[in-house]
Amino acid sequence: MISELLINAFLVTVMLAIAIALLKTRTVIFTVILTSAYSLVAALMFITLDAVDVAFTEASVGAGISTILFLAAMAYLPKKEEENFSNQFLPALSCIILGAILIWCSYDLPEIGLISSPIHQHIVPDYILGSRNDIGIPNIVTSVLASYRGYDTFGETIVVFTAGVAVLVLLQNNKKNPKNTKSKINKIDKKVG
Amino acid sequence: MHKNPILRVCTKILFAPIILFGLYVQFHGDFGPGGGFQAGVIVASAFILYSIVFGLDKGKELFPSNVNLFLLTLGGIIYGGVGITSMFLGEEFLSYNVLGSSPQSGQHIGILLVEFGVGLTVSNVMIALFNAFAGFKSGKGN
């Protein structure tokens, strides 16, 4: 129990530190790297909650591929963010109020893992039993994702597909220009290296 | 960076194990953590690593763009095809029970095929996105 508390405190501290560093930095590559680190710590956080599949997704998608895509897209951004000295009182106030409301509401949430909380009473027992008896797959997450919620996953796949096609249409190379794709990848190499 | 021998050799050594791990995550998703989304991203990262180290042109030689776009759509078609197949066999859309000899084996086959479709789409979308970003020529110089 005490070790769990220590691990959680450590992870939250690291996340907070990364978030503050993110606010401070103005260099775009540091922002990308720190976002990746934040995702990695979030993945560890999911592991402490025993959500291994979510942690796996967070580590591979959040910390892995999105960092690479950000780096690839970074070639078209200025290297430094511009300083913004305009009045930020109202945005800060609205953020603080929203945060306070969220923290206040979190006191009404049931305790994590409490068996009598509504989320564990409604349909979850059916899924847990059905995954063993009807589907015969040990990983309940997979049986929910692919079978019980197959429509949703189909929708997700189509969303990923549509997003990819949309980016391809937007960024399609102009056929009139001769191809000189090498210069861009050189640019990315320089920034990574 | 292209000339750095350590990077080139490491990429060549790592390429096959990354894809092998991706396939393991893909087809072992029924029994352990993992599934189509994660596996697709892992497989895509192998090809993206190759493109970063050896250049976009070499990456496109290894994995041509038209194959990429074909597989990108094929993933979605496999997923929808499984659903429509179960409709032809007299059940509702995406009811895997009728796909096999018993309901359980039908579920196994359905989930395997569906996850394979997801993995195919996700990996090819990621590769296509990277190629689009890396090969994009903006009009304003840069």
Q: What is the mean pLDDT of each run of 10 residues along chain B (142 residues)?
A: 82 93 88 86 92 88 90 91 88 82 85 91 92 72 40
In contact, A32 and A67? CB cutoff 8 Å = yes
What residue spans define the domains of chain B?
5-134
Q: Which tens digit of pLDDT belongs to each residue from A158-191?
A: 999 999 999 888 887 655 454 455 555 555 555 5
Q: Residues of B numbered 52-91 whose beta carbons fall under 8 angstroms of chain A's beta carbons: which are they?
A: 52, 55-57, 69, 72-73, 75-76, 79-80, 83
Q: What domain count does chain A have?
A: 1
pLDDT of residue B1: 54
User: What CATH number does residue A23 fall under?
Assistant: 1.20.120.1200
pLDDT of residue A189: 59
Residue A35 lies in a domain: yes
- Give SS3 for A27: strand
Is A87 an 8 Å CB contact of chain B? Answer: no
What is the domain extent for residue A8? 2-109+149-192
Using the beta-carbon criterion (under 8 Å), do A134 and B75 form an inter-chain contact? Answer: no
Q: Which tens digit of pLDDT belongs to each residue from A62-102?
A: 898 999 888 888 877 777 777 766 778 888 899 999 999 99
pLDDT of residue B2: 65
Produce one character per residue of A161-177: b if its CB has 16 or more CB atoms within 10 Å, e if not.
beebeebbeebeeeeee
Q: Residues of B numbered 23-52 whose beta carbons fall under 8 angstroms of chain A's beta carbons: which are they?
A: 25, 29-35, 37-38, 41-42, 44-45, 48, 51-52
pLDDT of residue A148: 86
Is A69 an 8 Å CB contact of chain B? Answer: yes
pLDDT of residue A192: 56
Half-sphere exposure of A192 (CA within 13 A, CB side): 20
pLDDT of residue A183: 54
pLDDT of residue B142: 39
Residue A130 lies in a domain: no
Query: Highest mean pLDDT range out of A12-21, A140-149, B103-112?
Result: A12-21
pLDDT of residue A182: 53
Residues in chain B: 142
pLDDT of residue B117: 92
Q: In this predicted complex, what is the ipTM?
A: 0.86
pLDDT of residue A113: 73
Q: pTM, whole model, 2 decimals?
A: 0.81
Region A126-145 average pLDDT: 84
Residue A118 lies in a domain: no
pLDDT at A112 over 50: yes
pLDDT of residue B126: 92
